[in-house]
Amino acid sequence: MARARPWLMRTYAGHSSAEASNALFRTNLAKGQTGLSIAFDLPTQLGLDPDDPRARGEVGRVGVPVASIADMETLFEGIPLERMNTSMTINATAPWLYALYVALAERRGCDVAALRGTTQNDLLKEFLARGTYVFDPETSLRLQRDLIVYAAERTPRWNPINVCSYHLQEAGATIVEELAFALANAIAVLDAVREQVREPARLAHVVGRVSFFLNAGMRFVDEACKVRAFTRLWDEITRERYGVDDPRQRRFRYGVQVNSLDLSARQPELNVARIVCEALGVLLPGRERARALQLPAWNEALGLPRPWDQQWSLRIQQVLAYETDLLEHDDILAGSPVIERRTAQLVEAAREELARIEALGGAVAATASGYLKSRLVASQAARVRALATGERKKVGENCFTETEPSPLTGGLEPAVLQVDPAAEQAVVARLEEHRGRRDTAAVHAALEALRQAARRGESILDASIRCAHAGVSTGEWTAALREVFGDYRAPTGVDGVRLGAVTTRRFETLHARARELAQRAGRPLRLLVAKPGLDGHSNAAEQIAVLGRELGLEVIYAGIRLAPAEIARAAADEDVDAVAVSILSGAHMTAVPELLAALSSAGARAAVVTGGTIPPADAQALLARGVARVHTARDGDLLDAFAAILDAIASQIDPDSVPLAKRGQP
């Protein structure tokens, strides 16, 4: 049979500055990458300018900073927009980044209607997983709708929303929760769109532009069946709920990044085998094959991948596409009774969960009430328990842990990309230079038009594109909308969640240690779990909070994006024994010293334990500055992390106490 065309091959990329990211994009394209997948830094995702005090230490860490159309021009220099398929992982500020992209195309004289690409623009899952929301769920849904309706008319080949089940699985979702929560999310968005788009043909076009972004984990059969279940349910929903007759517009269109949660910092070379296995689950199904694929790098659990690491991930895709016969055959899983039976089970279970969400008032209400978040935290707790007890095997972590020294990680600093701290100052200077070149009156007029559109309930897209051309900054655009809509803090989801029965020797050792320390202190131990900075990936913090309560500690956890001064005040007011800090964005060398200073000023006596993606040299530097313990994925699992917390508390109570690791803890 004829060989099918390869899927769209991407690597998720962006770091330091627009200049550095442009060079990386052009290098990757020259190596055979067929589309762009842009990672933006956290200040850009949250609508902050790089010179905002809240952005200190975060600029360019986890993606590229884009503060204005000047940065967008640099980012795409030498890259033809009219021939590119550009995916932007952006949510709260998705209308703004889309506006910048359209404004850049207009400046270049491109046919805007021919632009191809995707804005993630999936706000509801941000309240559940990644945490880069700015406004409340209702406002977020309105802004999503603005972008979807506008893009469907102005850029008809653009995917204005990428409904993400990927991040739900990363946050702990079971396969049924992943199916149901993502579809409930899509239904909420399309119901909102239908309020504005009444004409059946226009609504069908919008439905046909909805795309999905899936995860693919290690349970190969389940992942292959999940794609089938999504396909059947989406066809059913779009036909019955939205009256779409054309099967092409009902097609389940999706891209995939394989699971990063399964990647390990211990024996990380095994991650290559994991990545290939996960990719096959979405490449074998033929007709239902992923339309786009991006693979993580083998060392993402250690830090930011280097260009060579990204090249390795791209080459894996190219080997699968060009050296195997995958593309010569249709769906090789079709007709399998195992596949059909499991798919039917998933479809039925997902329907039942969708009905529960519908009874709660839909995805927006279920998000605002905390129902969806608490389900994810509970599922993640079950996953953690399964790994801790050995019920779920993970090679190199809870089984087959013996290893020879790895030549890939001999000296961990060279094995990941180090962002130059001076890059942040350069980005700030570039923004100051840009501001100096603008027409101030035009900027003020554009921002006022944006505020007026927001207040009147009108679409903000035309006003946003006007802002882009005027040179408005990312922070100014978001600040104008904050004046209208305010800020929002989502439920944490940890209240009432239990880890469940864990009877391993390691857990019992921790439990005994916690009881012993509480007896010596003459009161229950108190732990403050904190997420300083802009990082919204809260899985570890939530599970530490759940485990702490299971061990009998009084745990305070107020959620993400807290300022050091807020954390210090809470530590002093609650008189906690320790502050457990989780930072995954690479901003630890800024946020943690600021927290230590704030704790000192507040008179808090708590020991500080820091976790996250922290290179060994940085860990030593933090210890030298007064951090009691540093724990990363290289040092062990959640139970090991809590052992470090208890050791830090013990040192506060008795400086001569013997750490658990030296007591012979297994």
Length of the chain: 666
Q: How far is CA 248 from the centre of its chain?
A: 30
Residue numbers annotated as active site: 12, 166-167, 531, 535, 537
Q: Could you give the C-alpha distances from 398 to 211, 394, 639, in angstroms and in order?
A: 37, 6, 12
Strands (E), 194-329: 211-216, 254-258, 292-294
Identify the sign of the CA torsion 645, 647, 650, 655: negative
Cβ pair 247, 367 in contact under 8 A: no
> Residue 15 and residue 427: Cα distance in Å, rounded?
12
> Residue 661 and residue 666: Cα distance in Å, rounded?
8
Strand partners, 159: 118
CA trace torsion 543, 545, 548, 554 (10° rounding): -170
Q: What is the 3-state secondary structure (H, E, C) of 427-457?
A: HHHHHHHHHHHCCHHHHHHHHHHHHHHHHHC
> Which residue type, as a one-letter code, is found at position 9?
M
> Residue 580 and residue 530: Cα distance in Å, rounded?
6
Nearest of 543, 536, 544, 630 to residue 592 by alpha carbon: 630
Cβ pair 450, 460 in contact under 8 A: yes
Pairing relation of β-strands 554-557 and 292-294? unpaired
Tokens of 515: 């009881």
Strands (E), 195-290: 211-216, 254-258
For residue 154, the surrounding DSSP H or E stretch is helix 137-154
Strands (E), 524-662: 526-530, 554-557, 578-583, 607-612, 629-631
Taking the CB of residue 338, how many other CB atoms lie within 10 A of it? 11
For residue 158, the surrounding DSSP H or E stretch is strand 158-159
Cβ pair 397, 264 in contact under 8 A: yes
Please give the angle made by the CA atoms of 59, 581 and 418, to the nearest 5 degrees.
35
Please give the angle made by the CA atoms of 591, 129 and 628, to the nearest 5 degrees.
30
Tokens of 547: 């485990």
